[in-house]
Amino acid sequence: MDPHARYQSPLTSRYASPEMAANFSDNKRFSTWRKLWLNLAIAEKELGLDIPDGAIKEMKEHLYDIDYTLAIAEEKKRRHDVMAHVHTFGVACPKAAGIIHLGATSCYVTDNGDLIILRDGLDILLPKLARVIQRLSAFAEQYKDLPTLGFTHYQPAQLTTVGKRATLWVQELLWDLRNLTRAREDIGFRGVKGTTGTQGSFLALFEGNHEKVEALDQRVTELSGFKEYYPVTGQTYSRKIDVDLLMPMASFGATVHKIATDIRLLANLKEIEEPFEKDQIGSSAMAYKRNPMRCERACSLARHLQILVQDALGTSSVQWLERTLDDSANRRICLPEAFLTMDILLTLLQNISEGLVVYPKVIERRINQELPFMATENIIMAMVKKGGDRQECHEHIRVLSHEAGAVVKQQGGENDLIQRIRKDSYFEPIWGELDALMDPSTFIGRAPQQVERFLKDYVQPALKPYEEVLRQESKAELSV
């Protein structure tokens, strides 16, 4: 069928990276099942079951040549995806046909396979997150000294610096890196547990030898690349594991939404803009527009990522006793979508962070509109040092501030408070100091030093495990 004649998920058809799309592909899933059947057979043979060398050899040779036509026909007939692939693998490996899936239940391949795919998905995401942190940290370093108007309640507040504001973004991303690293390290293996988790079928295979059953569980876990298996399971691994994976992803979604929203607000002020390509069109009608489409896309997808954990929470809460099957269809959607969405967001963030445009003159102009009001306390102090009366000075500057405020709010003019002070003979003793008192760099506190220490003491250690991958050249290009 023409691919344009049927619905395709935009996550894969429009946005996702090839590596993450491949991680959740049929090829990855079903070749992983075959590797798990191979690992089971190898471990069972090592522990004394009569499995021919030829069977192992055949299985190794046919891990990837999946006959999908046969598998689809078998699933349609049997209404069981695992047994369809057991049969398909057996046709490719006739010497192994009788021992494939020996002693196992379907969840041996479906659940263990999912855990492998989820683990590999995090191995794709974590270096990308480290790269975004690196890019935004470089931005913070570059602009650590550039004063900018701070905002609380989105109202003018004391000054900060462009770089210091960026560290607020980076700090949350560091926490996301920590949380996702913990989730990655916590992933275990379901192992070989049987139909209800009792390992009864394997105990029968090994004629009541409990030590061999435990050894089988450990050996298959090692062959599958895991350090440990979950000590107890029902038929499935606990769906709480899915919650533990999607929760830090949802938290990352909140981080992205905050960063992208901040940039959208600053773009409206014309202080900072996301990359805007030479031939990019902001509006079909308004030719002058430069819409922040990357950040808008990031906010849109971040909201989707934040809600997917609700699927995992709901599924975990209704797994009756040893399991029910109402988890399956839901997990086929929410788990891949979470990983694909986070992958897309990381590409977006890297692209944005590599091309952020700062407009210092616009930032300076906005500072000059607000700084006179912020400097009033410094002006009062300077007058007191010259012998002035604090209360009298306060009243003088209060009157002038209200007059200047009226010019700004009622007449739409510029803030002329400093000009009024220069014309008021009461303030003549400090006229020569006004330029120094109005220097924005004296209003930013320890912002530059905070940036330096934060990057040295927190960012650099967090990125150390990713030094090698971060040395490799990487540029995030948006496909559409």
pLDDT in tens, 226-278: 999 999 999 999 999 999 999 999 999 999 999 999 999 999 999 999 987 54
Contacts of residues 396-402 at CB distance under 8 Å and 24 or more positions apart, as own/partner, are 396/424, 396/426, 396/427, 397/421, 400/424, 401/372, 401/373, 401/376
Nearest residue to 264 via CA among 237, 212, 300: 300
Give, in order, the Cα–Cα distances in Å from 68 to each of 84, 85, 113: 10, 9, 18
pLDDT in tens, 338-396: 999 999 999 999 999 999 999 999 999 999 888 888 888 888 889 899 888 889 999 98
Residue 284 has pLDDT above 50, yes or no: no
Which of 361-365, 375-379, 423-427, 439-443 has the weakest average pLDDT? 375-379
Residue 282 has pLDDT above 60, yes or no: no
User: Are residue 78 and residue 167 in the same domain, yes or no?
Assistant: no
User: Are residue 262 and residue 382 in the same domain, yes or no?
Assistant: no
Report the chain's mean pLDDT, rounded to a whole number. 91
User: Are residue 116 and residue 241 in the same domain, yes or no?
Assistant: yes
Mean pLDDT comparison of 168-177, 273-282, 321-330, highest-scoring range: 168-177
Distance CA 265, CA 270 (A): 9
pLDDT in tens, 197-207: 999 999 999 99
Distance CA 135, CA 138 (A): 5
Residue of 153, 284, 425, 479 marked catalytic: 153
User: Are residue 84 and residue 111 in the same domain, yes or no?
Assistant: no
* Domain count for the chain: 3
**Of 47, 65, 92, at which residue does a domain stop?**
92
Residue 454 has pLDDT above 80, yes or no: yes
pLDDT of residue 288: 44
pLDDT of residue 281: 46
Domain that holds residue 126: 106-358
User: Are residue 160 and residue 287 in the same domain, yes or no?
Assistant: yes
Distance CA 247, CA 233 (A): 21
CATH number at residue 404: 1.10.40
User: Are residue 273 and residue 391 in the same domain, yes or no?
Assistant: no
Is 153 a residue of the active site?
Answer: yes
100: left (phi over 0), alpha (psi -120 to 50) or beta: beta
User: Are residue 185 and residue 74 in the same domain, yes or no?
Assistant: no
- Within 13 Å, how many C-alpha atoms sit on residue 228's CB side? 7
Residue of 13, 283, 328, 441 marked catalytic: 283
- Of residues 151 and 478, the one with the higher pLDDT is 151
> Mean pLDDT across the stretch 43-72?
95
User: Are residue 85 and residue 190 in the same domain, yes or no?
Assistant: no
Is 396 a residue of the active site?
Answer: no
**Of 70, 92, 114, at which residue does a domain stop?**
92
User: Are residue 216 and residue 247 in the same domain, yes or no?
Assistant: yes
Which of 71-80, 282-291, 366-375, 460-469 has the weakest average pLDDT? 282-291
User: Are residue 350 and residue 386 in the same domain, yes or no?
Assistant: no
pLDDT in tens, 396-414: 888 998 898 898 889 888 8
Give domain status of residue 363, yes or no: no
Distance CA 157, CA 145 (A): 18
pLDDT in tens, 136-148: 999 999 999 999 9
Residue 283 has pLDDT above 80, yes or no: no
pLDDT of residue 287: 43
